[in-house]
A and B are shown apart, each in its own frame.
Chain A
Amino acid sequence: MRYVVANSVTALIAAVLVVAAVLFAWARSGAGRAPAVPGSPGPAAIGALGRDVYAAECGFCHGNRVDDRAELGRMADDLYRVEGGAAELVDLLLEGFEAAPERDLDHPPFDHLGDEQVAALLEYLLAYGPAEETAGARPPITASDVAARRRSSSSGRKTFQDLAHGLVDAPREPFPIVEHAGDVEAGPAAPDDAVDILGPE
């Protein structure tokens, strides 16, 4: 009877679809690019890793504007306005923050990312910043910077100088300092001043 055959074939087709999806996922999940080697990988490798991390981790909420200059530029502008600079950015990314308190919107923590991934992601985003920032000499954020920040953040927020070498010896402030009561070197901004990273309304 046709129905007997048809029902079996239908079940078979459904199984084929699911198995194909599983095989695809299994093959693709091993196809990630190898993490950057320890040390200082060159800018090209960092850019590629940063782009991959963005696509895999950030795109879901921020949109997959991989290499989209306009969208990423807006995000980078906000990153450059964060008081506390690179150190604060690493903290915010790893620990999460209140993105828009009036809307009860939290940016989740991304502490599951490796040190190279965090460094590459931030470098990737910062590269889309305003011309005067990116043209200037800004010491790159490295994996060891992130590692140091990760170790130290558990015992409370530290100052800018607590980051590894390079940033302290920078000839100029890598980020524009917004005039604010209190010295920026005395500590990063309070969470209330966190900027709406997701962009203007």
Chain B
Amino acid sequence: MIRALSGLFWLALYLAVALSPLLLMLMPPTPAGRTFSTELSAALGFIGLAQMGLQFVLIARFRPVTEPYGIDIILQYHRQIGLVSLALVSGHAVIVIGERPALLGSLSAPGGGRTALVTGLASIVAFMLLAGLSLGRQRVGLGYEAWRVSHTLLGLLMLGLAAAHVVEVGHYVNSGWKRFLWVAFAALMAAVLGYLRLVQPLLLRSRPYRVVGVEPDRGRTWILAMEPDGHPGMRLLPGQFAWIKLGDSAYNLQEHPFSFSSSAEAPERLELGIKELGDFTARIGETPLDTRAYLDGPHGSMSIDRYPAAGYVFIAGGIGITPIVSMLRTMADRGDRRPARLIYADDAWENMPFRDEIEALARRIALDVVWVLESPPEGWQGETGWVTAELLERHLPDERIERHFFICGPNPMIRSVESSLHGLGIPSRRIEAERFTLV
């Protein structure tokens, strides 16, 4: 209840700030009205600029803001509304220049309008570059850390240029206090970034962790175990995740999100399940013991504690098993006797991380497992292929409507499983998944 109210509050605040420029424009001194299209272009520009600034707050991982929705939703929203904002400010430019093409001539002539035009166009170009690099990072071959740095710099640049543009144009921003407000707004957003990069690492530094175990598991997966060093650690919900930084410096930009595989009842020893998929993860197995680590978390709303039910069905694909293991281990530690069914799909029997762990858990709690293999070994009697609607129909418990479903795996799998579940009569509100449509 409180979370729902909190969620509504942040949403209302967000909309208020997003629309406040329109109110600001109406405050005296108000210039005379112009044509509908010109006024529309101004409104689109101001709303787009407000969005630019708001993004800095959205991605700041402020827990009170992210908890009501789930941080994965916030990050996905950031992406979506970012593209919408690009369309809004581009619309602004298209209308302004389309109505008076002679404006482009002022690019080659000094005059009051040129600075306004140049700052505006440069801001949009920076925005387009930022969006392009985000959408096509891998195609362009840009490394994750390099992308992060470029994203931050381009974001700051486009916000600063847009603020300068608005002050230079000076049509609605036509008084000292209005100019001050816009500059202060941009500066405040930049300050949020300063907080994230400078202040938050300081806070992280006071809560370090130490790597106490680097164990290989099947399927090129590593279990990284950490203990809190000089502080009580964090209380996490089963199924949550955290961003981890390795090394002594809390200012290190290299940080990646991984799910906890450890039980929520054992915060004195946190474990992350990490599969070798990229540059960072490929070398995780070489991490020396006693390496310092910093954890930004816990984050995530995919947890049995957030969705109480009479029983659960977990559907895991590949490394998606990790948060589910956390949930199952927690149930075991709590003596939770609610029925749990796990449908675990992977390519081969030898490659399934946490396989032994799961078989052991099945003896401790009311868990039964359906193993689904794409490439089964000889003599395999179990399910093969992928998690299809037919497979689900065969293996879903009879009282399926009473259970809550968790899906964790690659995005296409989540989509197809969800759609299959809908076809089997499971309503959306009983299905939970966490997608990481990160870049």
Please list the residues of chain A having a beta carbon within 8 angstroms of any beta carbon in chain B. 1-4, 6-7, 9-10, 13-14, 16-18, 20-22, 24-26, 28-33, 52, 55-56, 59-66, 71, 99-100, 103, 105-108, 198-199, 201
B38 within 8 A of A: yes
Chain A binding surface, main DSSP class = helix
Interface size of B by CB at 8 A reads: 59
* One of A56, A71, A105 near B108 (C-beta < 8 A): A105
- Among B42, B43, B171, B174, the most chain A Cβ lie within 10 Å of the Cβ of B43
Beta-carbon contact of B40 and A61 below 8 Å = no
Residues of B within 8 A of A10 (CB): 77, 80-81
A60 touches B33 (CB 8 A): no
Q: A55 and B171: CB pair below 8 A?
A: yes
A-B contact sample (4 more), CB < 8 A, given A2-B301, A14-B81, A64-B171: A3-B73, A28-B25, A64-B116, A99-B109
B197 at interface by CB-CB < 8 Å: no
Closest to A197 in B: B111
For B43, the closest partner residue in chain A by CB is A21
Cα A1 to Cα B51 in complex, Å, equals 26
| Contact between chains at A61 and B102 (CB < 8 Å) | yes
Looking at the assembled complex, report how far the CB atom of A79 sits from the nearest CB atom of chain B, in whole angstroms.
Answer: 15
Cβ-based interface call for B170 (8 A): yes
A149 to B35 CA separation, bound complex (whole angstroms) = 26
Q: Which of B112, B113, B171 has the most chain A CB within a 10 Å cutoff?
A: B112
Q: A21-B40, A64-B170, A199-B110 are in contact. Are A56 and B32 (CB under 8 A)?
A: yes
Within the complex, the shortest CB–CB distance from A111 to chain B, in Å, comes to 14
Quick one: closest A residue to B41, CB to CB? A25
- Known contacts A3-B435, A20-B22, A28-B33: does B111 contact A62 (CB below 8 Å)? yes
The contact sample of 11 A-B pairs, CB cut-off 8 A, is: A13-B15, A13-B18, A14-B81, A24-B40, A25-B42, A59-B112, A59-B113, A63-B111, A63-B168, A64-B174, A108-B102
The yes or no answer to B243 lying at the interface (CB within 8 A) is no
Determine which of B39, B113, B169, B428 lies in contact with A29 in the assembled complex, contact meaning CB atoms within 8 Å: B39
Cα–Cα, bound, A30→B33 (Å): 7
Across-interface contacts of B44 in A (CB, < 8 A): 18, 21
Binding site for A on B (CB under 8 A): 11, 15, 18-19, 22, 25, 30-40, 42-44, 47, 51, 69-70, 73, 76-77, 80-81, 84, 88, 96, 100, 102-103, 105-106, 108-116, 168-171, 174, 301, 418, 428-429, 431-433, 435
Q: B80, A1: Cβ atoms under 8 Å?
A: no
- In the assembled complex, how far is the CB of residue B112 from the closest CB belonging to chain A, in whole angstroms? 1
Evaluate whether A14 and B111 lie within 8 angstroms (CB atoms) in the complex, with A21-B47, A29-B34 already known: no
Cβ-defined partner of A107 (8 Å) among B30, B31, B102: B102
Asked if A32 and B33 sit within 8 Å, CB to CB, the answer is yes
Q: Inside 8 A of B112's CB, which chain A residues have their CB? A: 59, 61-65, 71
B34 touching A56, Cβ below 8 Å:
yes
How far is it, in angstroms, between the C-alpha of A182 and the C-alpha of B265 when the chains are bound?
100
Please report the C-alpha to C-alpha distance between residue A81 and residue B111 in the assembled complex, in whole angstroms: 19
Which residues of A are found within 8 Å of B116, using beta-carbon distances? 60, 63-64
What is the minimal beta-carbon distance from B39 to any residue of chain A, in angstroms? 4
Identify the interface centre among B32, B38, B102, B168: most chain A CB within 10 Å of its CB.
Answer: B32
Q: Is the CB of B39 within 8 A of A28?
A: yes
